[in-house]
Amino acid sequence: MSETAEKKKVIFSAIQPSGTITLGNYLGALQNWVKLQDDYNCIYAVADLHAITVRQDPKAFRQNILNAYALFIACGIDTEKSPFFIQSHVHTHAELAWVLNCYTQFGELSRMTQFKDKSQKHADNINAGLFTYPSLMAADILLYQADLVPIGIDQKQHLELTRNIAERFNGIYGNTFRIPEAYIGETGAKIMSLQDPTKKMSKSDENVNSWVAILDKPDTIMKKFKRAVTDSEARVCVGEGKDGINNLIGIMSCVTGKTTDEITAEFEGKGYGDFKTAVGEAVVEKVRPIQERFDRLIADKAYLEEQYRKSAEFALRLSQRTLDKVMKKIGYVAR
């Protein structure tokens, strides 16, 4: 994480510390983050400031933040290569978010589909933070002059808004922010629900059999795969109307690195029962070393603390440069 080894493009991304990280999160986002570390200057964060737009229980919240932090390191985020910090530890984020709020229009924020969805879901707590959430996300990204932002499709509108805010600010004050671009990972990594394979795998699904958590016990994982919804054709191959099997083949391919053809050849003439068992076993093997590392890390508070402190120091130094520039351009008196 040297500051002089520039030239490589800068990547910034963050994930909220929800209670469970699913196989979908891992194969769709996290595994990608890990791979990007060698080719880019990556900066990653646990977005805990974003998380309080919905009410959190203090004790569970603290544990969720630490668990997410440890799990990401267990998955392969290497703080020597990529600073990985906890958002609330770096005060520039909240500061720039306030500034950007004053350069973001009410109308723009009102058009965010995530805001509309979430305010319907939490009708009893439509707080201002939920509304201005995208300007905090814009601050996260713009502080590090990021070139690329790996995100899921659901965050694309927020990134579009980030670009608009940055362009607007640059237009008024001259070049201040780099305009970031979305980095949408390969489509092959979209993992669907095991119970309704036309829907994305999501831990907010009430049916716990529809998703697999990275930290699920092996027998739970096996049970969930054995119950996975398939079709009546009884042929392991990709096809239309075979969403369940398509998804299982996709998962198998992601965790083993085998191609679709290799997988279909291997299971030619075999039944769905065998195939589901094989996918379950492959997933268990994939998450086993991650779970072992996680167990070691979560018991080693001192090590975790050292990692997030070191990363937060680095992030603060870098982001303070951007914030200082912004404050000066607006006309604030230097400290």
Binding site for ligand TRP (CB under 6 A): 12-16, 47, 50, 137, 140-141, 149, 151, 155
Q: Which is nearer to ligand TRP, 87 or 246 (CB)?
A: 87
Strands 84-86 and 181-183: unpaired
Active site annotation includes 7? no
Find out whether 317 and 92 touch, Cβ atoms under 8 Å: no
- 258 is written with which tokens? 């085998």
Nearer to ligand TRP, 66 or 228 (CB): 66
77, 33 in Cβ contact below 8 A? yes
Q: Work out how close the CB of 75 gets to ligand TRP at its nearest, in angstroms, rounded to a whole number.
A: 16
Shortest approach of ligand TRP to residue 246 CB, angstroms?
A: 25
CA neighbours closer than 13 Å in the CB half-sphere of residue 179: 13
Closest approach of Cβ 113 to ligand TRP, in Å? Answer: 13
Catalytic hit among 200, 224, 242, 276: 200
Task: At 52, list the tokens.
Answer: 């309080």
- Other CB atoms within a 10 A radius of the CB of residue 292 amount to 11
Nearer to ligand TRP, 186 or 240 (CB): 186
DSSP 3-state of 232: coil
- In the complex with ligand TRP, which residue's Cβ is closer, 47 or 251? 47
Nearer CB in complex with ligand TRP: 141/251? 141
* Residue 169 to residues 110, 112, 129, Cα–Cα distance (Å): 20, 20, 22
Tell me if residue 200 is catalytic.
yes
Give one DSSP letter per residue of 182-202, joined into a string: EE---GGG-PBPSS-TTSB--
Q: What type of residue is 210?
A: S
Per annotation, catalytic residue among 190, 203, 226, 258: 203
Distance CA 227, CA 326 (A): 54
Q: Quote the least distance from Cβ 16 to ligand TRP, whole Å.
A: 5
Within 8 A by CB and 6+ apart from 39, the residues are 8
- Residue 118 annotated as catalytic: yes
State the nearest-atom distance from the C-beta of 14 to ligand TRP, in Å: 4
Which residues are the active-site residues? 118, 200, 203
